[in-house]
Amino acid sequence: MLITIYLIAITAEAMSGALAAGRRNMDIFGVAVIAFVTALGGGTIRDMVLGHFPIGWTQHPDYIYLVISAGLLTTVLARYMHHLKMVFLVLDALGLIAFSLIGCEVALGMGYPTVVVIMAGMITGIFGGVLRDVLCNQVPVVFRHELYASVSLAVCILYLVLRKFGVPTEANTLISFAAGLTLRLLAIWRGWKLPTFSYQKRWE
């Protein structure tokens, strides 16, 4: 099940990347790169930080074709996509959670300390979007938006706590998805945000 959700998730992320590329008037090569980076960049950075080689997608050419196709298809479908806004928000939330759990599992399998496991989950969940925004020359939206990274953090912690208490992986995964999706959709619906830190003083 996690694999199915993962494939849906990287497709949705690739499409979000393609739209961001379109906002910068990129050519279709740029669209393909940004789609790829948005969908698979978080896992790439996680693997590079953990020293986990070979990196996931290099062993799954089908993932590469999937995200590039999704990105290019988006250039055709873009005009209809805003009608599906709610669908995308749900898919994106599912993706965030799937990425987070997969990231935790990779770091757990390599024996890293708990806080690094949580960070591996969060890197997988959010750094695709960070790379997308850096390549599109804007401040990463994930550092300013409604609860998003926090959902990843909450899901990672919940998953590890339940795991500690011996909850079987399948049940744990289901509970994490239910809780994470609820939290994310509530945050969007109610506009929950983290407190913001504004500091305008220049010292020089």
Establish if 108 lies at the interface with a copy of itself (CB under 8 A).
no
Q: Half-sphere exposure (CA, 13 Å, Cβ side) for 15? A: 23
Which residues, 6+ apart, have CB-to-CB distance to 92 below 8 Å? 9, 12, 13, 16
The residue written with tokens 């969060």 in the block is: 122
If the CB atoms of residues 28 and 161 are measured against a copy of itself, the closer one turns out to be 28
Peptide bond into 54 cis (omega under 30): yes
For residues 47 to 76, the per-residue mask of contacts with a copy of itself, x marking binding by CB under 8 A and - elsewhere, is: -xxxx-xxx--xx-x--xx---------x-
Binder among 12, 14, 15, 34 for a copy of itself (CB under 8 A): 34
If the CB atoms of residues 7 and 140 are measured against a copy of itself, the closer one turns out to be 140
What's the chain's Rg over C-alpha atoms?
17
Establish if 112 lies at the interface with a copy of itself (CB under 8 A).
yes
Establish if 28 lies at the interface with a copy of itself (CB under 8 A).
yes
The residue range among 1-9, 13-21, 97-105, 174-182 that interacts with a copy of itself, by the rule CB under 8 A, is 13-21
CA dist., res. 146 & res. 143, Å (int): 9
Establish if 2 lies at the interface with a copy of itself (CB under 8 A).
no
- In our burial notation (b when 16+ CB lie closer than 10 A, e otherwise), range 4-23 reads ebbbebbbbbbbbbbbbbee
Establish if 22 lies at the interface with a copy of itself (CB under 8 A).
yes
If the CB atoms of residues 9 and 147 are measured against a copy of itself, the closer one turns out to be 147
Subset of 160-179 contacting a copy of itself (CB under 8 A): none
CA-wise closest residue to 3 among 49, 62, 74, 52: 62
The residue range among 96-104, 141-149, 163-171, 177-185 that interacts with a copy of itself, by the rule CB under 8 A, is 141-149
Q: Would you say 66 and 11 are in contact if contact means Cβ atoms under 8 Å apart?
A: yes
CA dist., res. 156 & res. 150, Å (int): 10
The residue range among 28-36, 95-103, 155-163, 173-181 that interacts with a copy of itself, by the rule CB under 8 A, is 28-36
Judged by the rule CB under 8 A, the positions of this chain that interact with a copy of itself are 18-19, 21-31, 33-34, 44, 48-51, 53-55, 58-59, 61, 64-65, 75, 78, 82, 85, 112-116, 119, 130, 134-140, 142-145, 149-150, 153, 193-201, 203
